[in-house]
Chains A and B, each alone.
Chain A
Amino acid sequence: MGREAAYDEVFDGQAHFRALLDSTARPGALNFLTPVQIDPPAGLNRATALIAFALMDGNSNFATVNMTQSEGSYLAANTRARRTEIDGADFIFASGDEAPEFLEAACCGTLLYPDTAATLILQIQDAVVQIQDAPERPLTGGLRLTLKGPGVDGISALFVRGIRADLLLALQARNAEFPLGLDAILTFVDESGRACLAALPRTTHVSWEKC
């Protein structure tokens, strides 16, 4: 799998990192990644690939969950990061539809060094932020996430399709003992082709209901 020529490690990386920073500081906030012409293999959406490019370099490890060889090779070729098992990975790429068992192996850091925890990149189908007190449900057939915690003014709501409730439950269990835990980034490409992301840092308390 070849290297993406159109991607600029400095300027695109900075812009995308900024978007990720904003989403992490305001859990549940959707951000668009400035468009870059890239062509990742079928198992990766463009937002996932761009976040991987922004965060990883030759000093990082990553693991993919139930993806083919080509996804891993693509990420390795474009970031120089090394592919490894889930328990040793700094970054874990998975689908929101994945069964939650893989989370048990993920590294949640240590009390002295919680920063060594893994970052989870979960590919979802789509997501919509609920505008304050809007009566209608913007998405159906997914989950309505209610978010509380640092960076959220009161509560915020995010409608998400393509994420399993038992995966959220497992994530909640792994985040029970702060500062240990996993920071999750949700990625998808919306219907107009924009690469989007939202973040659920380990500090965010998430509850959900079907909608």
Chain B
Amino acid sequence: MGYVAVKGGQDAIANANELVEYYRLKGRTEPVRLDQVKTQFRLAIDRAMGEGSLYAPEHAALALIQVEGDSFEAAFHLRAYRTTLERRYYSEVMNTREMIVERRISSTFREIPGGQILGPTRDYSMRLLEPALLQQSLGSIDTFLEKVQGYLEPEKLHGITTFGKVIDLFQAEGIITRETQEGDNRRVVDVTREAIKFPAPRSAVLQMLARAETGGLMCMGYSTMRGFAVGHGTIGELRVGRVPLRVVDARGRRRYLGRIKVTECEMVGGAAKRRAAKRGEKNGRSSSKERPTLSVGYGLCFGQNETKAICMGMVDTALRSPDPLSPASSQEFVLHHTECVEGYGFTNHLKLPHYVTFQSELDNIRRVVKAGEQKPQAVTG
């Protein structure tokens, strides 16, 4: 039985598009409104914006509604939309010391300047399904909001706005340095405008990681902790909040654009090996004159996505300590395989017709089989 090419034309594709829309709506419930998704699916939106590489909550909400909540598709839709946009400006370097903090914790010190602020998190919840949510109404929501807002002390609201960073404490003590690796200070590339080349400068690495797929990045980050790389870092600081963005316009004036919410993480690791390696010293030991320092891995992504920021920090550390046994310290391995649109696109291209390539494979196998069958006959005959 031979393989027969399945014919599928434009009609079939049009029908498939219509049918998937039918499946989205066939339950005949009230349409989900954009503002509902925007306010109640905050974390899904943050994730879609991060992976879609576009800070646009309304567009992300629309994407999520349109694709029935598929995070890969939502990111894909946002990326497709962003390619139609022109990059008119590059912002000034964002300073996260200006962040209006909603949540910030450190696992390196109990006492940090400004204190630990748990903020909005499900980290300490019991992970029990909550059937009471099914009884919620606007009335019960209002009661809850009033209760929580009642905790606010208006006179203190504007007291504290920003916090010093934990990393600055390390730096003041000289435990970490501002020293960069060779090539770190090359020109800042824009991975959204030019294809990535290896070895990629740190600017490209961090940009790629910031828009990487959360699950893929977690896989890489987790592998570094389980023994496939340098080891288990510690969270120097993890903070979530809104940071001001500014651009310089064509006339040279500094313009305030607004704030974007980001999650930032600094992973502090074991003694940094790279200094010794770079200076070509034996056995990787630093000379006695040189102070040992800690390595720092940096993570930053749109919205509140702490898993991603932490994993980005771990992977950044791994990438800066090359190790042939560690997949997570190979730039090409990490950056290509955590790229959500490339990975998703390439995986799904498998569903497209491969009739010709497969037919040629099949022809080869049949030829070999046929040759094998004929050979004994030739000998006996």
Contact = CB atoms under 8 A, between A and B. Distances in A.
Q: Do A and B come from one complex?
A: yes
Interface of A: 57-59, 80, 112-113
Contacts, number: 11
Nearest to B250: A80
A59 B193 CA distance: 9
Contact of A58 (B86, B195, B197): B86
Interface of B: 86-88, 193, 195, 197
B82 to A, nearest CB: 13
A112 B197 contact: yes
A58 B87 CA distance: 7
A113 B86 contact: no
A57 B88 CA distance: 9
A59 B88 CA distance: 7
B86 A59 contact: yes
A59 to B, nearest CB: 6
A112 B198 CA distance: 12
8 contacts: A57-B86, A58-B86, A58-B87, A58-B88, A80-B86, A80-B88, A112-B197, A113-B195
A58 B195 CA distance: 18
A59 B86 CA distance: 7
A112 B87 CA distance: 25
Nearest to A60: B86
A80 B88 CA distance: 9
Contacts of A112: 197
A78 to B, nearest CB: 13
A126 to B, nearest CB: 34
Nearest to A9: B86
A7 to B, nearest CB: 16
A139 to B, nearest CB: 40
A139 B86 CA distance: 42
The residue among B86, B87, B88 with the most chain A CB atoms within 10 A of its own CB is B86
B91 to A, nearest CB: 15
Query: Lowest 10 CB-CB distances: which A-B pairs, in order?
Result: A57-B86, A58-B86, A58-B88, A59-B87, A59-B86, A113-B195, A59-B193, A58-B87, A112-B197, A80-B86
Contacts of B195: 113
A118 to B, nearest CB: 15
Nearest to A10: B84
Contacts of A58: 86-88
Contacts of A57: 86
Contacts of A80: 86, 88
A11 to B, nearest CB: 14
A96 to B, nearest CB: 30
B90 to A, nearest CB: 11
B335 to A, nearest CB: 16
A112 B88 CA distance: 27
Nearest to B190: A59
A104 to B, nearest CB: 24
* Residue among A58, A59, A80, A112 having the largest count of chain B Cβ atoms under 10 Å: A59
A113 B193 CA distance: 13
A112 B193 CA distance: 16
Contacts of B197: 112
Contacts of B87: 58-59
A80 B195 CA distance: 23
Contacts of A113: 195
A113 B197 CA distance: 10
A137 B110 CA distance: 89
Contacts of B88: 58, 80
